[in-house]
Amino acid sequence: MANATDHLWMHFTRMASYSAGEVPTIVRGDGAYVWDSQGRRYLDGLAGLFVVNAGHGRTELAEAAAKQAAELAYFPLWSYAHPKAVELAERISALTPGDLNRVFFTTGGSEAVEAAWKLARAYFKRTRKPTKHKVVSRYIAYHGTSMGALSITGLPGIKTDFEPLVPGGIKVPNTNFYRAPEHGDDIEAFGRWAADEIGRAIEREGPDTVAAVFLEPVQNSGGCFPPPPGYFQRVREICDAYDVLLVSDEVICSWGRLGEYFGAVRYGYQPDIITTAKGITSGYAPLGAMIASDRLMEPFLTETGMFAHGVTFGGHPVSCAVALANLEVFAREDLVGHVRANEAAFRATLEKLGDLPIVGDVRGDGYFYGIELVKDKATRETFDEAESERLLRGYLSTALFAAGLYCRADDRGDPVVQLAPPLIAGQQQFDEMEQILRAVLTEAWRRL
């Protein structure tokens, strides 16, 4: 559409790149596929943006939205409730691990992360530890774009335009075993080292100043870093020792993406807070949530207690109705079980690409994978900034899309291609992804 460049300001987009061309416009979706305005079909290898977990074209979700909008389109959760928010909060609390029973609704992931940091600060003020306000997170990790969430994010390139940010963000190493700076021959020892770096950071800052540790079950930015065995168990020990809250940022990793409703369940650890969004509605309406333990609610249950935070559209009736319908689809079709049953086949199909000279590492879990690209497999040499620019934005992004695959080619960290298809995907889609990637990556290597 020609007027897209005149009026629409797209997110994280180099607008000048469309000055002489048309903006790709997606008009329809069905299952694991989408179609553009020219009628071309694409395999949605990223579930929109790690969002459309139940797949495109679910009429029952659209019908749930229409029914709720006709009955009660909007009412705030500010001192009032509405039935769908109550029902959804109860449904969520039944799926979360441990005593994570308190659901604070938002409209998206950044807002959920903001709410979690604010709750951590407010909780410690009310429990007579008012100096505990800082947050530990990992290098390259992405936790959102609002000012607080951006301060937790570990990507310098998307922060510089907005500095100074909220003070108190502390960064520690991530769990990229492929580029482990320590214990590169022993994944369990590497995991212990990476977890202990969190403890060392807390010690350096002073335990009386640190409120929370924010970690994704599988780190997204950098290309899907799974946790080494024992990593989260050690992090839990460290948080308990220093009275620091463990926040599991599951904006991507919840709702079946890793073969469980929550990534914390997949890896066997108990967080104090879970942040979530995206797949909770499969993208059919905007919704997010901060899910907190009963313990964190206690200081706010006094006669005058209040968590002085809220957003206008948090827990929107239509979004809650869609989320409930989405979870009915999950239960009826056992989408979480489908991921568990097929994740080994997905991994094996992607690992076939390991015979290409440009593919250095294939990593991830569930339906969430990154393929790291290298210049030299033997030495694991990566591409410099100019080479990465030519490879990713100069060729791969457009070539993959032109070949019929929508995915992410990115260099937040080292160059990677990321894949996170709708949870309904099966071997047919895995093979299609592998074939397109093989052809395009082979040509990319030839062009180097």
Residues of the chain with pLDDT > 90, as a percent, come to 91
What is the DSSP track for 207-258?
A: GGGEEEEEE-SSB-TTT-BPPPTTHHHHHHHHHHHHT-EEEEE-TTTTTTTT
Geometric angle at alpha carbon 395, from 392 and 396, rounded to 5°? 55
Which of these, 292, 249, 13, 46, lies nearest to 141 by C-alpha position?
A: 249
Per the CB < 8 A criterion, the answer to whether 146 and 111 are in contact is yes
The 10 Å Cβ neighbour count of residue 134 is: 21
In this structure, the strands spanning 288-292 and 273-276 are antiparallel
Structure tokens at 391: 């490879």
User: For residue 419, what are the CA distances in angstroms to 347, 364, 404?
Assistant: 11, 9, 14
Q: How many angstroms separate the CA atoms of 351 and 344, rounded?
A: 10
SS3 assignment, position 77: coil
Per the CB < 8 A criterion, the answer to whether 423 and 338 are in contact is yes
Ramachandran region, residue 295 (left: φ > 0; alpha: ψ -120 to 50; beta: rest): alpha
**Chain segment 207-217, per-residue pLDDT in tens:** 999 999 999 99
Looking at 12-21, 136-145, 158-167, 203-212, which range is the least confident one? Answer: 12-21
Per the CB < 8 A criterion, the answer to whether 419 and 432 are in contact is no
pLDDT score at 325:
98
Structure tokens at 332: 């009826």
**Chain segment 84-118, per-residue pLDDT in tens:** 999 999 999 999 999 999 999 999 999 999 999 99
Looking at 185-199, 377-391, 418-432, which range is the least confident one? Answer: 377-391
**Chain segment 407-448, per-residue pLDDT in tens:** 999 888 889 999 999 999 999 999 999 999 999 999 999 998
**Chain segment 326-345, per-residue pLDDT in tens:** 999 999 999 999 999 999 99
The whole-chain average pLDDT of the chain stands at: 96
Instruction: Give 369's contacts (C-beta < 8 A, 6+ positions apart).
Output: 224, 346, 347, 350, 362, 363, 418, 419, 420
Which of these, 430, 427, 428, 410, lies nearest to 418 by C-alpha position?
A: 410
Per the CB < 8 A criterion, the answer to whether 235 and 61 are in contact is no
Which of these, 285, 250, 272, 268, lies nearest to 107 by C-alpha position?
A: 285
